[in-house]
Amino acid sequence: MESPDDGVKSAYNSIAGKFFEFRATGRAVYNNYLEMPAMLSMLGDVRKKKVLDIGCGPGINAEALLKRGAIVYGIDISESMIEIAKANIKKANFTVGSVYSMPYKSGFFDIAFASYSVEHFTRLASAFKEIRRVLKKGGIFAFSRSNPLNEVTHRIPGRPYYIRKFGNYFKEGMQSHVWFKGTTSEISISFVHRTLQTHIRTAIKSGFEIMDYAEPKPIPALKKLDKRTYNKMQMIPELSVFKLKAA
Ligand SMILES: C[S@@+](CC[C@H](N)C(=O)[O-])C[C@H]1O[C@@H](n2cnc3c(N)ncnc32)[C@H](O)[C@@H]1O
């Protein structure tokens, strides 16, 4: 029987090429002007640190970390994503695998991070415990995900972005997001909506301390490029970024 993780894996396998093109050509506004600046600032100085990128996709963030002097490993459940990452970035160690059982020794990494992948983890506690295992004591785990509050506020067709329908924040469970809408690559990919409380409590129960939490706003350069998205992000929290420490 197919599990939700198999569904996510085959979905990302099918769009890996298109996803890479999207990320690598600068059209990925949310990644380039919001997520990556926030995540890199959370991670701080990574020089000579052993860093694991979990759900690394085609390796764009891994490459940014390499440029900052880190020793980079990347793992992803999608074979096609890892194939692209390996073809484009030679200096990182990429592996196909799932977050629930990773092929690394306990205490191997100084830093682990996950950009927009935690929302796909159907078993959050198992994932967090495995991430804690591969980190040194005192190591850092930073992750970004779409803000759970934003996930339950929906556009009303024909109305401005700031007039929204508010869904049920407390109802956790599977939702889906359509990628590449209106193109031949259009695909619906599932993710799990969870409250902030669940993320925080699961992190603590899995052996982490909370060091920081951010709901970042985009960098100013976005204002010139895409004023509407920039203005929307001044009002609506798009992203959640957590910084945890392995206790
Ligand atoms: C939205 S993409 C983000 C890719 C990359 N982090 C980036 O920001 O460009 C989510 C990635 O998480 C991966 N993923 C989902 N579930 C996973 C799991 N259980 N273990 C490892 N990777 C997973 C997917 O295959 C996909 O490449």
Is 222 a pocket residue for ligand 1 (Cβ < 6 Å)? no
- C-alpha–C-alpha distance, residues 40 and 31, integer Å: 11
Phi and psi at 170, nearest 5°, equal -80, -10
Q: What percent of the chain has pLDDT over 90?
A: 91
- 89 and 146 in contact (C-beta within 8 Å)? no
Beta carbons of 124 and 198 less than 8 angstroms apart: yes
Contact 208, 246 (CB under 8 A): yes
Class at the top of the CATH hierarchy for domain 4-147+195-246: alpha beta
CA angle, 206 then 210 then 136, to 5°:
60
121 in contact with ligand 1, CB cutoff 6 A = yes
Q: Does ligand 1 come within 6 angstroms of the Cβ of 191?
A: no
* Ligand 1 site-directed mutation target among 115, 117, 128, 134, most atoms within 8 Å of CB: 117
**SS3 (DSSP) at 79:** helix
**Predicted local confidence at residue 86, as pLDDT:** 98
Q: Is 234 helix (H, G, I), strand (E, B) or coil?
A: helix
Query: 222 is written with which tokens?
Result: 């976005």
Average of per-residue pLDDT across 144-158: 94
pLDDT tens track for 159-175: 988 899 999 999 999 99
pLDDT at residue 13 in the model: 97
The answer to whether residues 185 and 179 touch, using CB atoms and an 8 Å cutoff, is yes
Q: Please state, rounded to an integer, the average pLDDT across all residues of the chain.
A: 96
Q: Stretch 108-116: mean pLDDT, rounded?
A: 98
Residue 227 confidence (pLDDT): 95
DSSP 3-state of 159: coil
The band of 27, judged by pLDDT with boundaries at 50, 70 and 90, is: confident
